[in-house]
Structures are given as structure tokens and as C-alpha cells.
């Protein structure tokens, strides 16, 4: 005697497999595709902070407008959308920097959580990179 299958026990294996793969595979694939963007944004913020701090320390004057301009140009050149990076300095605008002191640049970038094709970014958070650069001790007195 062969075992009988009960009524209504017909399966939908193909549909269940497709749905299961879609629900499991799609979120993992989106995360894998998004992780390089996070690292790229962090590296970009570090590069901008380094260059802005170096330039301000080399000039010897806390020029926030020039620092913001340099940060905007670098962000555009490195592929960041406009407004995704902000630059801040830890010195008073227009004041000369003390010889032997230091200046710190902080660059904050927006990092998208998950970009969905056709919908845009689902969420985002900000990440700040800081770089402190010493001011030349032997530079000319302003």
C-alpha cells in the first residue's frame, strides 16, 4: 500500500522559493552594495579634513571662508553631492594663528544608510572626521 497524501497538501515550492530568496537575498545584496559607499564617504571626509587643516595652518590665518571653499571644491572633485560635506575650524574667523599652535578641521559628511534604486536614500546619518595640523613655529610674524 502506498502512503496517501492528504487533500490540500499540494505545495507551492516554486513560489515559496522565489519569495524566500527575494526576502532574504534582496536586503543582503543592498547591504553589500552599500558598504563601499560608507567607507568611501569616510575616506573622503578624512582627506578633506587633512587638506583644509594643512592649508589653514600654512596660511597662518583662520580663514573659514577659504576653508569652506576648499572643502566644497574637494568634495565636488571627490564625487560627493553638493551639501553632503560641511567644514568647521576650531579657531576664530580672521584671527592669526599662534606660531607653534595648531588648528583642527572637522569635516562632517552625510552617509546614506541604504540607497534603493528608483526611490533614493532610505535613511542617512552623519560622520565627522577631524584633523589637527601644527602651525609653523618658524613662520614670519603676522
**pLDDT digit string, tens, across residues 10-67:** 666 778 888 888 888 877 887 787 778 888 999 999 999 999 999 999 998 999 999 9
pLDDT of residue 8: 60
* Average pLDDT value for residue range 112-141: 81
Positive or negative: CA dihedral 86, 109, 74, 61: positive
Residues 6+ apart with CB under 8 A from 89: 52, 56, 62, 64, 67, 103, 104, 105, 106
* 45/121 Cα distance (integer angstroms): 19
With vertex at residue 106, the alpha carbon angle to CA 56 and CA 78, rounded to the nearest 5 degrees, is 85
> Could you give the percent of the chain with pLDDT greater than 90?
46
Contact 85, 71 (CB under 8 A): yes
Has residue 5 been placed in a domain? Answer: no
Has residue 142 been placed in a domain? Answer: no
Residues 6+ apart with CB under 8 A from 126: 108, 109, 110, 111
Has residue 110 been placed in a domain? Answer: yes
Higher-scoring residue by pLDDT: 139, 8: 139
Has residue 11 been placed in a domain? Answer: no
Query: How many structural domains comprise the chain?
Result: 1
User: Is pLDDT at 132 greater than 60 in this prediction?
Assistant: yes
Has residue 10 been placed in a domain? Answer: no
> Could you give the percent of the chain with pLDDT greater than 70?
86
- Domain extent for 48: 18-134
Higher-scoring residue by pLDDT: 82, 129: 129
Torsions phi, psi of 57, nearest 5? -65, -35
Mark 65-97 as b/e (b = at least 16 C-beta within 10 Å): eebbebbbebbeeeebeeebbbbbbebeeeeeb
Q: What is the pTM of this model?
A: 0.75
Least reliable range by pLDDT among 47-51, 98-102, 120-124, 134-138: 120-124
The enclosing H or E element of 57 equals: helix 13-59
* Average pLDDT value for residue range 67-76: 95
Please count the CA atoms within 13 angstroms of the CA of 75 that sit on its side-chain side.
23
Has residue 7 been placed in a domain? Answer: no
Has residue 12 been placed in a domain? Answer: no
Amino acid at each position: 500500500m502506498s502512503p496517501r497524501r492528504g487533500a490540500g497538501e499540494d505545495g507551492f515550492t516554486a513560489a515559496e522559493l522565489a519569495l524566500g530568496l527575494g526576502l532574504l537575498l534582496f536586503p543582503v545584496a543592498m547591504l553589500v552594495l552599500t558598504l563601499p559607499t560608507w567607507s568611501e564617504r569616510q575616506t573622503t571626509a578624512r582627506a578633506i579634513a587633512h587638506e583644509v587643516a594643512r592649508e589653514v595652518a600654512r596660511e597662518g590665518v583662520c580663514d573659514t571662508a577659504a576653508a569652506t571653499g576648499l572643502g566644497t571644491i574637494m568634495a565636488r572633485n571627490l564625487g560627493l553631492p553638493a551639501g553632503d560635506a560641511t567644514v568647521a575650524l576650531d579657531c576664530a574667523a580672521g584671527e592669526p594663528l599662534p606660531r607653534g599652535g595648531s588648528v583642527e578641521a572637522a569635516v562632517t559628511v552625510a552617509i546614506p544608510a541604504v540607497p534603493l534604486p528608483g526611490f533614493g536614500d532610505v535613511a542617512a546619518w552623519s560622520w565627522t572626521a577631524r584633523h589637527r595640523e601644527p602651525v609653523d613655529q618658524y613662520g614670519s610674524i603676522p
